[in-house]
Copies of this chain bind each other. A is one copy, B any other.
Amino acid sequence: MAEMKFKRSERLIDMTHYLMEHPRELVSLTFFADRFQSAKSSISEDLVIVKETFEHRGVGTLQTIPGAAGGVKYIPGIQRKQAEELIASLREHVSHSDRLLPGGYLYMTDILGDIHLMNHVGKLFAAAFANKEIDFIMTVATKGIGIAHAAARYLGVPVVVVRRDSKVTEGSTVSINYVSGSSRRIQTMVLSKRSLPQGARVLIVDDFMKAGGTAAGMKNLLEEFSATVAGTAILIESDHVEERLVEQYTSLLKLSNVDEREKTIQVTTGNYFDQVYSFLPEIE
């Protein structure tokens, strides 16, 4: 088997695997040259093939950073048509009327635990924020955690989880009070003091947004850490709202016309496509 190490086919397979496991991470040509005991010129040729295939297949692109400290970064991406298909499939999953719970709530637990759907959500968010500098993903316990980890997987950054209550295992914490937008109740949010460094750029992620009180609360909490919001990504927004507490956000789906008596809901595409992304070119 040892003599196989140097073949292009093995290099391409292993490079693909390695890059997928290290999204948005700078990998030097020297690293691959050592790994495969190959000349940098061969590695460069390999990377061109990987880049073209990733773009052609709509799974992302490779960014080349020139110079001595340079290398390549795998930037997960998506074609517009694929993004439309993934959101349509999510919409179909969410639209079933048997999701409607007393009080007009939606049962979403199965969707938030479905690793394939979560991967789709992660990919869509990673594509939407591909050009943003992001250091951390933040969400609030419990339901946003799966989405946050899915996005983290494609953005290659850590997750911090805000809690409603302080726990002994969090060490010292920073807590804020905020007003829940829809119920107007005062609520508390707690984040471990050492979980975020000063000045971090943070992508806020959540499963559901009504008036946006929770997202606005997370923004306030970030200010306590001198951190900034790099974006806000929501799986489902509800349109039953007069005033939003968050102005800029990206949503995949929009929930409207919840009729508890008739047991019907209407789910449409969120504002995802209102923004301009650098979608990958379609296969001709």
Chain A residues engaging chain B, CB cutoff 8 angstroms? 1-2, 4-5, 8-10, 12-14, 16-17, 20-21, 49-50, 52-54, 56-57, 59, 101-103, 105-110, 113-116, 118-119, 141-143, 145-146, 149-150, 152-153, 156-161, 163, 168-171, 192, 194-195, 283-284
- Nearest chain-B residue to A50 (Cβ)? B13
B113 x A160 contact (CB < 8 A):
yes
Q: List 14 interface pairs A-B (beta carbons < 8 Å), by A numbering.
A: A1-B52, A9-B49, A10-B49, A13-B50, A13-B54, A13-B57, A17-B59, A102-B168, A106-B169, A108-B169, A113-B158, A113-B159, A115-B153, A153-B153
Q: How many copies are assembled?
A: 2
CA distance A4 to B9 in the complex (A): 16
User: Are the C-beta atoms of A170 and B109 separated by less than 8 Å?
Assistant: yes
Query: In the complex, A168→B100 CA distance in Å?
Result: 11
Cα distance, A245 to B50, chains bound together (Å): 50
A110 shortest CB reach to chain B, Å: 6
How far does the alpha carbon of A150 sit from the alpha carbon of B153 in the complex, in Å? Answer: 9
A106 contact set on B, CB distance < 8 A? 169
Bound CA span A57–B9, Å = 13
The winner among A1, A116, A143, A158 for most chain B CB atoms within 10 A is A158
- Expressed in whole angstroms, the Cα–Cα distance for A169 and B111 within the complex equals 13
Partner of A110, one of B53, B113, B158: B158
Quick check: A56 and B4 within 8 Å, CB to CB? yes
| Chain B residues, Cβ within 8 Å of A152 | 113, 115
Indicate if the CB atoms of A101 and B2 lie closer than 8 Å: no
